[in-house]
Chains A and B, each alone.
Chain A
């Protein structure tokens, strides 16, 4: 396949960037999207040009690093997958593909397609944890949890913190990410101790990081590679309301 790429190039956080056009030639349809960029980068290196910087780690859809806004959508045109799981057979020979970094005030561009997503880490540090002394491994069935509750918590726990929800949202809101974390822990007995504090602190932190607020457009769930649903945001809202009404925090 032969393609034309329009890629966001930006030298560093303080420089202005721009879209630059590159040809991508002799691409196999079986390559992943990241492998395709590897090929383009090899060509750039051979010509003595700076390769396109992008984030990646696992290349199997579990680390959440490969943030790319492809043809106007986070993680490209396919539902329920990350950029590293996207194959070139999803495109047609001769296509022009635009590739941009996530755009959000809270995710500043570091270089080219690499953004700083440490705002998510600080949201987790604010409350996305449980404080239990681990000690020895306890029996898996010592705490009974209903199957449907466990499944629901597990669905929420599949969030990989990739930030596609923020990238897709017109308000650059992090509500879907927060809702996945809050939902997961609110559903399980281990999460009860910090339940009220967690949701209050995480929402405060989200505000401080400069994310927008949720307008319930649903774009986040539609673009989430793990298909985290809107009902988790509803649960986050319920958790917030009950915490505000009943928690001891003033």
Chain B
């Protein structure tokens, strides 16, 4: 496999392919994650959401995919930072005056900064809910809640719902979350289309489709994420 390792390790286009594949994979994850989070809006004391959390952490297919996901986040972030630093070095002396905004959009020039904001968010976010749910390094186990399921049987789930609601009763957490979703929006405003361009998918026949789907990813999905903590906050004050 040496040609393969060489390709993704030491060629610029190969490194970009890693960015595109991991980035687009993370996009599919965003869609699945939002579908789950929308369960928070149900008025069922967290039954649907807590059940979803059990599914996400026990289904073998999802568990396997989650390792791919962790690898993708790390790979994408590390390569993203490496590429950004390498690209900075390609112009050691800058211009005294450069008018960049006429030829490119802001988001496309700031993927490194936007990505770094996302990295901070992902680490904080996982340190919160993911770590507590898996009880990695927590002193007390997560509280549980008992529900009667659709078949009338008694089920006991870890009460992640309660954790989430408690967190987003704090306005600062809400603001941090919403700001991060704005960053996701900008990152994908350029990133989604860019990923396809990197993979060589650019053709007048399917570009319009990519552009429409891109709007779902940079507009609708981040807005959907951001609405949930706002909803919780305004419902619980």
Contact = CB atoms under 8 A, between A and B. Distances in A.
B83 A230 contact: no
B16 interface: yes
A216 B197 contact: yes
B200 A73 contact: no
A162 B10 CA distance: 27
Contacts of B16: 213-214, 237
Contact of B90 (A72, A104, A204): A104
A210 B3 contact: no
B99 A172 contact: no
22 contacts: A72-B100, A73-B98, A98-B97, A105-B90, A105-B91, A105-B92, A173-B90, A212-B87, A213-B86, A217-B105, A219-B104, A222-B102, A222-B104, A230-B197, A234-B197, A234-B200, A234-B201, A240-B13, A240-B14, A241-B200, A244-B4, A244-B14
A171 B199 contact: no
Given A223-B103, A250-B2, A213 B97 contact: no
A135 B83 CA distance: 46
- Contact-residue size bin, chain A (C-beta under 8 Å from the other chain): 35 or more
A90 interface: no
Interface of B: 2-4, 7, 10-17, 83, 86-87, 89-100, 102-105, 108-109, 111, 190, 193-194, 197-203
B23 to A, nearest CB: 12
Given A173-B87, A234-B201, A217 B108 contact: yes
Given A214-B16, A219-B104, A222-B103, A103 B95 contact: yes
Nearest to B16: A213
A98 B97 CA distance: 7
Contacts of A73: 98-99, 102-103
Contact of A105 (B89, B105, B108): B89
Contact of A71 (B4, B91, B97): B97
A234 B193 CA distance: 12
Contacts of A72: 95, 97-100
A207 B14 CA distance: 11
A237 B198 contact: yes
B124 to A, nearest CB: 26
Nearest to A17: B93
A100 B3 contact: no
A217 B109 contact: yes
Contact of A170 (B87, B93, B200): B87
Nearest to A200: B11
B144 to A, nearest CB: 47
Contacts of A171: 87, 90-91
A215 interface: yes
B90 A100 contact: no
B93 A216 contact: no
Nearest to B193: A216
A213 B13 contact: yes
Interface in A159-202: 168, 170-173
Interface in A55-71: 69, 71
B209 to A, nearest CB: 15
A113 interface: no
A38 B116 CA distance: 48
Given A71-B99, A241-B17, A249-B3, A203 B104 contact: no
B15 to A, nearest CB: 7
Given A171-B91, A172-B91, 8 more contacts: A72-B98, A172-B90, A215-B108, A216-B108, A216-B198, A231-B203, A237-B197, A244-B4
A92 interface: no
Contacts of A240: 11, 13-14
Contacts of A230: 197, 202
A170 B104 contact: yes
